[in-house]
Structure 1
Amino acid sequence: MSSHQRTQGYVPSAVFQPGSANGAALDAARAAAASTATVAHGPISFASPPPQPVPPRPQDSAASPRAPAQQASLPARRPSLAADPHPRLRTVVLPHATLPRFPAIASVNTVRNMETCGLLLGWEIVKGADTPATRARYVISTLLIPKQHATSDTCAMDEEEGVLSFTEAWGLITIGWIHMHPSQSCFMSSVDLHTHTSFQQMLPESIAVVCAPKSDPDFGIFRLTDPPGLQVVLKCNAKQAFHPHPDVPIYTDADRGHVQMRDAALEIVDLR
């Protein structure tokens, strides 16, 4: 655990450590994802915080209305995950291809020591009554790269109205976000924590993915604890962008039955 993680109240999970099932699946995804495909949809862009989600799609299908731009070829197996400590959270399906594809897209900025950010969009899949056996789940289908401006340790998304139009046009909801730490370790900074409160307030299952190519591990899938993390950050009145938080478990890995990495299609839309 890095000093940054300790300062920001990280509670680690052992599931995504080297040698785990998810780690092996990610290695396979990286080997399969040798190139990056993008789909352009015109001069649309957006800003943080993320847009309000649109009503869920009624059908029980994760299919996009368009053909997927890219799908990784991976072994047909599902990573084993530990039990979710918050069983009220619905499952979020994250395509394996997200993790190798996003760093490839961000590589131009990464070599310049600049961050890159994107949105994770998808569907709510409703199977029936809200019981443990039929509970709805969320499937991430689209990685959206917005127009943005960045520094070595910050990244801001521009023009919120454009993304709202995009998500409404394609019936997508915002399920999380992803960004690079080009030279730092894999952790959630105070800026990241405050950014994620907007996502998690709108959708408790929202996730924050951090990619850190110079770190080991080089990625993390995080969420604020609730309680106490979400409440601590919402009540924080610090004026400085980067600042410590109280010594309580503020955020943790979102990988204990809540996020499932699967062999699913991923569409990449780059609007920069």
Structure 2
Amino acid sequence: MPVAQHHPPHPHYQQQPQQSIQYPTYNSRTPVSNSRPPPQSQPPPTTQPPEPEPQAPRITRADSKVDNNPRELKTVNLPRECLPRFLSIAAGNTARNRETCGLLLGKDKGHKFVVTTLLIPKQHSTSDTCTMDEEELVMQFTEERNLITLGWIHTHPTQSCFMSSVDLHTHVAFQRMLPESFAVVCAPTSTPNFGIFRLTDPPGLQTILSCNAKEAFHPHPDLPIYTDADKGHVQMKDTSLEIVDLR
């Protein structure tokens, strides 16, 4: 499905010859294991001057082959009303067992990102697919308003809340452009009914980038490929949200 520019640029989806994203049904959660060896200790980071707001927890790259230095993700503020508003917009499709997708756009405030806009692109869908149409309209919208794509959101009308192999390959295009990018999955018939996710880095980002499987559904190595972002750098806030429906 749907992403960011030099602002970062809106990514073109990998694994898709067209400018669209498919979300086939997937009946089981991607297995996650804790079998990785414990990370080697890292030297303490250089003390940074205090930020005006609390920052997200430090994300340390434990694999020395990837990066010897720890890095921080900027906090991303997500309006609390975004999820119920999106579920309300998607209710008609959900009742007909059809998926709905959207983009989470916003601004770089320097020390944090702020989601300001929920954009519903033109799309067509089935019970297990959602295809975004006329992507050039999305590009025009984001460029005219100087917005960047911070994340994306879609429904699983009858499935549980998880990232399928197709979702993982969709999201890698977002996160390789902007490390703070996140994916929201809404599962209105399941408990919990939503999740906010990102690829681990490492090993998830590198694993998906190097995956060359052709099938829509395929296994990945038994590694912690994705994790909850709402327990990390994504923070729900009581801030305003603009909703634009291009359909």
User: Residue in 2 aligned with 1:187?
Assistant: 162
Which residue, out of 29, 39, 47, partners 1:5? 29
User: Residue in 2 aligned with 1:72?
Assistant: none
Q: For the structure 1 residues 206 and 10, does the alpha-carbon distance in structure 2 shift closer, same or farther, using more than 3 Å as the test?
A: farther
Q: For the structure 1 residues 82 and 258, does the alpha-carbon distance in structure 2 shift closer, same or farther, using more than 3 Å as the test?
A: closer
Task: Report whether the alignment pairs 1:154 with 2:123.
Answer: no
Q: Take 2:199 and 2:33, find their aligned partners in 1: how far apart are those partners?
A: 9
Which residue, out of 167, 171, 188, partners 1:196? 171
Give per-residue Cα distances to partners, 1:40-64, cap 9 Å, x unaligned.
Answer: xxxxxxxxxxxxxxxxxxxxxxxxx
Which residue, out of 179, 183, 188, partners 1:208? 183
Which residue, out of 93, 102, 115, partners 2:77? 93
Task: Report whether the alignment pairs 1:251 with 2:235.
Answer: no
CA contact (8 A) 2:30 2:163 kept: no
CA offset at residue 3 of structure 1? 7.1
User: Residue in 2 aligned with 1:175?
Assistant: 150
CA offset at residue 175 of structure 1? 0.2
More helix by share: 1
Q: For the structure 1 residues 219 and 84, does the alpha-carbon distance in structure 2 shift closer, same or farther, using more than 3 Å as the test?
A: farther
SS of aligned partner of 1:4 = coil
CA contact (8 A) 1:115 1:180 kept: yes
Task: Report whether the alignment pairs 1:105 with 2:89.
Answer: yes
CA offset at residue 140 of structure 1? 0.1
User: Residue in 1 aligned with 2:205?
Assistant: 230
Task: Report whether the alignment pairs 1:240 with 2:215.
Answer: yes
Task: Report whether the alignment pairs 1:122 with 2:106.
Answer: yes
Q: For the structure 1 residues 10 and 215, does the alpha-carbon distance in structure 2 shift closer, same or farther, using more than 3 Å as the test?
A: farther
**Structure 1 segments of 4+ aligned residues over 6 angstroms from their partners:** none
Q: Take 2:199 and 2:232, find their aligned partners in 1: how far apart are those partners?
A: 16
CA offset at residue 4 of structure 1? 2.1
CA contact (8 A) 1:85 1:256 kept: no
Q: Take 1:10 and 1:173, find their aligned partners in 2: how far apart are those partners?
A: 33
1:4 partner letter: S
Q: For the structure 1 residues 95 and 215, does the alpha-carbon distance in structure 2 shift closer, same or farther, using more than 3 Å as the test?
A: same
SS of aligned partner of 2:29 = helix
CA offset at residue 161 of structure 1? 1.4
**Unaligned stretches of 5+ residues in structure 1:** 12-79, 127-135
Q: Take 2:33 and 2:118, find their aligned partners in 1: how far apart are those partners?
A: 26
User: Residue in 2 aligned with 1:42?
Assistant: none
Tell me the matched-pair count.
193
Larger RCO (CA under 8 A, 6+ residues apart): 1
TM-score (normalizing by structure 2):
0.74
CA offset at residue 240 of structure 1? 1.1
CA contact (8 A) 1:84 1:255 kept: no
Q: Take 2:55 and 2:196, find their aligned partners in 1: how far apart are those partners?
A: 13
2:93 partner letter: N
Q: For the structure 1 residues 250 and 91, does the alpha-carbon distance in structure 2 shift closer, same or farther, using more than 3 Å as the test?
A: same
User: Residue in 2 aligned with 1:71?
Assistant: none
Q: Take 1:254 and 1:208, find their aligned partners in 2: how far apart are those partners?
A: 9
Q: For the structure 1 residues 10 and 251, does the alpha-carbon distance in structure 2 shift closer, same or farther, using more than 3 Å as the test?
A: farther
Q: Take 2:119 and 2:219, find their aligned partners in 1: how far apart are those partners?
A: 30
User: Residue in 2 aligned with 1:51?
Assistant: none
User: Residue in 1 aligned with 2:38?
Assistant: none
Give per-residue Cα distances to partners, 1:60-81, cap 9 Å, x unaligned.
Answer: xxxxxxxxxxxxxxxxxxxx99
TM-score (normalizing by structure 1):
0.67
SS of aligned partner of 2:160 = coil
CA contact (8 A) 2:105 2:148 kept: yes
The root-mean-square deviation of aligned C-alpha atoms, in Å, is: 2.1
Identical residues among aligned pairs (%): 67
CA contact (8 A) 2:152 2:183 kept: yes
